[in-house]
Amino acid sequence: MKTENPISSETSTQPQPAAAAPSNAHWRGRSVLITGATGFIGRNLAQILTREGVAVHALTRNAAGAQQLLAGGQCTLHPYDGSLGCIIAAVTQAQPDLVIHLATSYHVSHDAQALEDMLEANIAFGARLLQAIDQVQPATGRLLSASTSFQHFENQAYSPVSFYAATKQAFDDLALYFCQARDMRWLKLELSDTYGPDDHRGKLFSLFEKAANAATPVPMSPGEQMLDLLHVDDVVEGFLTAGQRVLGESFVRSQAWALRSGHPLSLRQVAAVYADARGQSLNIDWGAQPYRPRTPMTVPDCTPVLPGWKPQYTLQEGIAKM
C-alpha cells in the first residue's frame, strides 16, 4: 500500500495539491470523538464542529471542564476512568468517522509527578486509544492527532527537545504501527505554539501580562530564540482542513503535516508586538535568566505545511483580535 508523506521516512518536498476548504456539507452529519476537548484547542474545535452540524463526543476526565462543555450543549460526554474498557465503550457508542486526539500533558520540569503525568497522558492513554479504535473499527478507523515541533531540535528529522517531545514521538511510533500492521488511517498535525482569548495555560502571554504590570523587572532569557505563534482560530481551521483530508476517499495510510505562520519572530520581537498592541511597555530584564538546555533557537521547517491551509491572522492582527 502506498504511503503519502510517510511518518517513518523523509517528508516530500514536492508541491502538493491544495485541499478544498472545509464546508458545512462535508462535516454535517459526521460523528467525531475528541480527546482533550476541555483544553484550549479542544474546546474551540468542539464549538466549531458543533456549529458545523457534527455529533461531537468528548472523552475526558476533567469534570469541571466537561461540565462547561455540557452546559454549552457542545458534545456528548464520555467520562474517562483510566481503563481500556472505558475507551472502547466510548468509541463503540460514538462510532466516530474521525477521532481527534488532542489530550496531552506538558511539563518543563522532570520531577516524579511530571514524569508520571506525561507517561500516562502522552503514551499510555494514547496506546489505549489506538487499541480501542482498532478493536471497534478494524481497518476503518481514522485518526487525527496533534504533534509538536519540539520533536525536531535543530531541524532534524527527529531529535527531541525535551522529555515531553520524546513521549510525543513514542505515541507517533505506536500510531505508525497501527497504520502499517492494522491498516488504520492517521494524519498527525505538527504545531509550534498557540495563543488566543480565554487561554488559561499560563504560557508566554501570561508572562507578558505580568511584565506589563510589574513594579520590578521580570527576568527572562536573552530573547533571541525564534518563535512561530498561531492564533487558535487558525489552528482550528487547520484541524478542519486536516480532518477533511483524512476523511477523503483517497487518503492513504499515514501523513505528517505542519501548521506554520511562515513569519517567525524572536522572543524579543514578539514582546515588542505585544507591547505595541497594549500601548504599554513591558518591564523585562532580558538576559537575567539563561536559556534552558536544548532551547530551540530556530523554527523547524522539515515537515511540509498542510496543503489547502494558510493562517488568516498575523501576530499583530491576532493579538488585536484578543
Residue 74: pLDDT band by 50, 70, 90 thresholds?
Answer: low
Residue 297: pLDDT band by 50, 70, 90 thresholds?
Answer: very high
Render pLDDT for 219-246 as a digit per residue (tens, 0 to 9). 999 999 999 999 999 999 999 999 999 9
What pLDDT does residue 26 have? 81
Residue 4: pLDDT band by 50, 70, 90 thresholds?
Answer: very low
Question: What are the DSSP E strand ranges found in 139-277?
Answer: 142-148, 185-191, 193-195, 218-220, 226-227, 229-231, 254-258, 265-266
Domain 24-195+229-258 and domain 204-227+263-300+312-321 have a common topology: no
What pLDDT does residue 245 have? 96
CB burial of residue 108 (10 Å; 0-12, 13-18, 19+): exposed
- Report the length, in residues, of the chain: 322
Residue 110: pLDDT band by 50, 70, 90 thresholds?
Answer: confident
Of 265 and 63, the structure prediction assigns the larger pLDDT to 265
What pLDDT does residue 321 have? 86
For the chain, give every domain's residue range. Answer: 24-195+229-258, 204-227+263-300+312-321
Give the CATH fold of the 204-227+263-300+312-321 domain. UDP-galactose 4-epimerase; domain 1 (3.90.25)
Single out the residue of 192, 193, 194, 150 nearest to residue 172, CA to CA: 150
Per the prediction, the chain carries an average pLDDT of: 90
Of 28 and 174, the structure prediction assigns the larger pLDDT to 174
Question: pTM for this structure?
Answer: 0.90
What pLDDT does residue 12 have? 37
Render pLDDT for 243-271 as a digit per residue (tens, 0 to 9). 999 999 899 889 999 999 999 999 999 99
What pLDDT does residue 254 have? 95
The position carrying cell 488568516 is 312
CB 191 within 8 A of CB 168: no
51 Cβ contact partners less than 8 Å away, ≥ 6 residues apart: none
* Distance separating alpha carbons of residues 307 and 317, to the nearest angstrom: 23
Give the CATH fold of the 24-195+229-258 domain. Rossmann fold (3.40.50)
- Residue 19 confidence (pLDDT) above 60: no
Residue 276: pLDDT band by 50, 70, 90 thresholds?
Answer: very high
In this structure, of 26-30, 79-83, 119-123, the range with the lowest mean pLDDT score is 26-30
- Residue 10 confidence (pLDDT) above 50: no
Single out the residue of 147, 156, 150 nearest to residue 100, CA to CA: 147
Residue 15: pLDDT band by 50, 70, 90 thresholds?
Answer: very low
* Distance separating alpha carbons of residues 263 and 42, to the nearest angstrom: 25
